[in-house]
Structure 1
């Protein structure tokens, strides 16, 4: 939970620093929780896997609720450590569309960014791909974390990088100022639309490619 992850408030830390922090943390979290829950820490990713029939509806809903509750608790902990004044100055880490960009720009950035993330998750965890490319060793959390890093580099100046509705919700609830809610719908519609496109592309296009074993 990066409270400086606001497009207009990240100058003192730097976009690259924030991107590395998010990418590295996602790598660590997915690596540590993959054997427990499959590394589900993002409702958009869970939604994509649900559409691809890799999860039951009950399990997906449970994951999404827990992800949102965890994000709210995390944002509260960050606020407690930072103190009210600094937290307010940094905008509480709430995602907003930056000045100079339209809501359509923000929505497009969230759709594309989440598509990249969810498609990477599918590619890194696909058993068919693992069999086809068994000569290429891969640690699934690594490309996922790197995808998060790259998406943050590209979209922090536009939206502060949502791509995770739970993170956006947690920050908005704890900060709870009007501007934190003005664009909030973008950070739900965008990620879920991007995840839907990634799931459809994976199921309809990628999974349809004939499998040929290496001789």
Structure 2
């Protein structure tokens, strides 16, 4: 898979990718560093869940608190504008790929793959990390470019340390920790409610080219 990256400099730039009323899955990666190895944490922003009232959005990711081991849990959770701005400050990139969903049927398949992994806790930096998860959901391929490109020494260090998602506070402590309810229907429902304030969001019955390919 050939990917394109765009570094996000401001929250306004990131909002250009949000698609109210149109199904939108945005592949994000932020720069992180453990005590020994630099790496990227990957997650999916559901751009159609942006609520302009409480300034929150939903993301899909491997979640871990400071009190958990490296076995993070696959969840859909609420992320605030502050969380996104912190990620931008740390170094946030949007990754686009022609293999990502392009229509409602493909989005439904991606959602089904998330539901298959939802609440699973088998995180492993070498064979089941956050990038593996995002690529699997968006394309069906369980791959991680950063592991493929990692040198032998770094692979040994990463394997020994089994880098935790919370190793440098990439997952803010402000997250609610409660998994949002996923629809079991395919394609997703047209009516979406903000999980933070209860506001009815615009219909997401359509898919935009930019939204679904981000």
TM bin (shorter chain): under 0.3
Tell me which protein shows more helix as a share of its residues: 1
Normalised by the length of structure 2, the TM-score is 0.28
Q: Which has the higher contact order (CA 8 A, sep 6+)?
A: 1
Of structures 1 and 2, the larger Rg is shown by 1
Tell me which protein shows more strand as a share of its residues: 2
